Structure 1
């Protein structure tokens, strides 16, 4: 609930959905251990952290708000929950090998003289791991690289 309150207070006042998505991604990454360098991902010891929480709670069900070192799956789940609670539409996509990511539909800035309502929204993948808040257009090589090991 604290995350929802904080996200509502700091992210909802932003002017555009694009800005809200970027700010929410940065918020989620900050709560889950911060950005991680791509070549140092194997050193990010999230498994031990999750095991300690399970041991402390004496339960295999881990509340998402207790996780402070999360990877793709944890971050994508938290992003989805918070986005829905503050009114940002997104999807949670689950891949292989504990990969998960969020996709959002956003309208890119319209060129001068063209109303934004005439431009169809495009799907972007939200980076929550390496460069939190970076938006990758669906179908690009960088988006494919983010979704795979």
Structure 2
């Protein structure tokens, strides 16, 4: 949310009016501000200017001088004012977030942090169109939330050339283009991917071996399964990237398409591993969020998983 405030310059110091006396300042400083779901941003945006405590020695009323602070208006004197400003910030920034991929990621993260229900509900109904919507949503926002289950037909598209940035290609276009289209897609379809089907069965066996209370161990077991299938632990990012480029060329040449079944990827980068982990976690109903891109990971091509626990996230 700090991105929105920084963009729109919303927030000001809690400043007293020039007409307030030192007694009024002491009273207002001793009263705690109302609670807020975004109190951390209010603290940083409003600047808590400490008021001086009243002097222990009495002084004549005629000698009391007004405290001159600033001339800016205090926008957040009440909880209602803050919520109104927050809503206006989000509303005003909606159009701006459509300008680029990075801004789309910020908007998605903002909605997630607010627990918003404005995001498309692509997992509630089954059907090919809904899977297509989920794939498109991940392309645009780089987020798959806990309740969004990756189903057969989902595909993750990656641009291999900066010249083709723009609209997401359809799965049919990717499958019919056997040459170098500038895109590379990884598809989830266990019906046509025996290796993925086997991994999902192993994941279900792991879930049976470990009760739901041992979530940390369960996550570790799934992570080891993904790591073992996709080339082992990554000690050198450049080395694994070189191996993946070689393996990717081999796969596209053998199957004559840029759409690669996720089970066939035995040398995988972080975006492949995170997607596979999400698929396996969904299989055993382990709440898992998948995020990708520089806004979440610091690196454009990286992806990570977030596991939902009862009292914390892993």
TM-superposed deviation, 1:106: 2.3
The structure whose RCO (Cα within 8 Å, separation 6+) is larger is: 1
Q: Tell me which of 13, 35, 41 is aligned to 2:237.
A: 41
Q: How does 1:10-29 map onto structure 2 within 5 Å?
A: 10-15=206-211, 16-29=214-227
After TM superposition, the score normalised by the length of structure 2 is 0.34
Q: Residue 54 of structure 1 contacts residue 62 of structure 1 at CA under 8 Å; is this kept in 2? A: yes
TM-superposed deviation, 1:48: 1.3
Corresponding residue pairs, total: 109
Cα offsets for 1:95-125 (capped at 9, x unmatched): 1321111001224xxxxxxxxxxxxx2122x
Unaligned runs of 5+ in 1: 108-120, 125-149
Q: Distance in 2 between matches of 1:89 and 1:73?
A: 18
Q: Residue 7 of structure 1 contacts residue 24 of structure 1 at CA under 8 Å; is this kept in 2? A: yes
RMSD (Å), alpha carbons: 1.2
More strand by share: 1
Q: Tell me which of 88, 92, 96 is aligned to 2:290.
A: 92
Report which of the two structures shows the higher radius of gyration computed on alpha carbons: 2
Q: Distance in 1 between matches of 2:256 and 2:270?
A: 24
Q: Distance in 2 between matches of 1:98 and 1:12?
A: 34
Q: Does 1:32 align with 2:230?
A: yes
Q: Residue 203 of structure 2 contacts residue 283 of structure 2 at CA under 8 Å; is this kept in 1? A: no
Q: Residue 12 of structure 1 contacts residue 20 of structure 1 at CA under 8 Å; is this kept in 2? A: no
